[in-house]
Amino acid sequence: MLILFIFIESELFTPQKILQFAEHLYQEKDFSGALNEYRRYIFLTDTNRDEITKRIIYCLVKLQRYDEAIKQARRFKEDARQRFELGWLYFLKGDYAVSRRYLEALEIPYKREAQQLIGFSYAMDYKFLRAQEYIKLPPYQPKKKSILIGSFLGLLPGGGHFYCGRFGDGIYSFLTVGLCGLLSYYYHNNNEDMKFGIAVGAGILFYAGSIYGAVNAVRNYNHYENEKYLKAVLELNR
């Protein structure tokens, strides 16, 4: 019985059985468990090393452990494959400039996918003119507002908000600063110096906030337009 037990146990822990169990865990989306089993398998045998390394990378990506995945990808012996995997991983991590450095100059069989990733990386950086060299873009370009014009119009309370189409915020800003100005004028005419000082201080504070809000409104507007266009780009290139 003891010999039979030892035989069964040894069969359960063969590399092939470990690989089958790892595949099962992966299909069940137990990526942490699958990762451990894949690492056990690769420790025991060199068979299918590149394929198992890819599986390990997939598990690490699913677990959002990108730095470990990048370290793992450096184990590929083939230079082109290593560069492609690193470019892909840096793209997922959000390091788009680094991703492009690895993907550029890659040839067949990685060229097509590498070119797409480069295009998407430029799109993610909102560099749409560069992105169109690699991927298809919608015919229209995102509408952008000038921060310089927004700042200039912001000198008029609410002007920057009106420039960006945020009429509610513009009216609120105009009325707030205007009310402070009226109160300052009223208290000055009635020689109420303390109230005059408070009203002037509040007016200056709200006026400065209005200018800052104008710049921020332009940035938010441009970000919204870029994100809307980026979404259209991703939809077009599905």
- Digit-coded pLDDT (tens) for 103-152: 988 888 888 999 999 999 999 999 998 999 999 998 888 888 888 888 88
Which CATH number characterizes residue 59's domain? 1.25.40.10
Q: What is the pLDDT of residue 71?
A: 94
pLDDT at 193: 75
| Residues 31 and 64 both lie in one domain | yes
Residues 96 and 198 in one domain: no
Q: How many domains does the chain have?
A: 2
Q: Are 50 and 116 part of one and the same domain?
A: yes
Interhelix angle for 31-44 vs 49-62, to 10°?
160
Same structural domain, 110 and 171:
no
CA-to-CA distance for 196 and 185, rounded, in angstroms? 8
Q: What is the reported pTM?
A: 0.77
Is 7 a domain residue? no
**Token pair of 74 as six digits:** 């450096």
Q: Do residues 37 and 112 share a domain? A: yes
The answer, yes or no, to whether residue 8 has pLDDT greater than 60, is no
Residue 139 maps to a domain: no
Instruction: Please report, as a single letter, which amino acid is at residue 46.
Output: D
Mean local confidence (pLDDT), 163-175: 82
**Distance set, CA 4 to CA 7, 8, 9, 10, 16 (Å):** 5, 6, 9, 10, 20
- Look up the domain containing 175 and give its range: 147-236
pLDDT of residue 13: 62
* Same domain membership, residue 186 and residue 116: no
Residue 3 pLDDT > 70, yes or no? Answer: no
Q: What CA–CA distance (Å, rounded) separates 168 from 189?
A: 32
The answer to whether residues 91 and 125 touch, using CB atoms and an 8 Å cutoff, is no
Angle at 65 between CA 63 and CA 66, to 5 degrees: 125
Question: What's the mean pLDDT when you consider all of the chain?
Answer: 84
Q: 34 in a domain, yes or no?
A: yes
Q: Which amino acid belongs to residue 58?
A: Y
User: Over the stretch 31-61, which tens digit does the pLDDT of each residue have?
Assistant: 898 889 989 988 887 777 888 899 999 999 9
Residue 176 lies in a domain: yes
Asked if 102 and 90 touch (Cβ cutoff 8 Å), the reply is yes
Question: Given 77, 102, 131, which residue is the final one in a domain?
Answer: 131
Last residue of a domain, one of 64, 99, 131: 131
Q: Are residues 22 and 121 in the same domain?
A: yes
pLDDT for 7 equals 38
Q: Is residue 155 domain-shared with residue 127, that is, in the same domain?
A: no
Count CB-CB contacts under 10 A for residue 142: 18
Could you tell me if 122 and 170 lie in one domain?
Answer: no
Give the tens place of pLDDT for each residue, 172-215: 888 888 888 887 877 778 878 787 788 778 878 887 888 888 88
> Do 88 and 64 fall within a single domain?
yes
Residue 9 pLDDT class (50, 70, 90 cuts): very low
Helices (H), 45-166: 49-62, 66-73, 79-93, 96-103, 111-124, 128-131, 147-153, 159-163
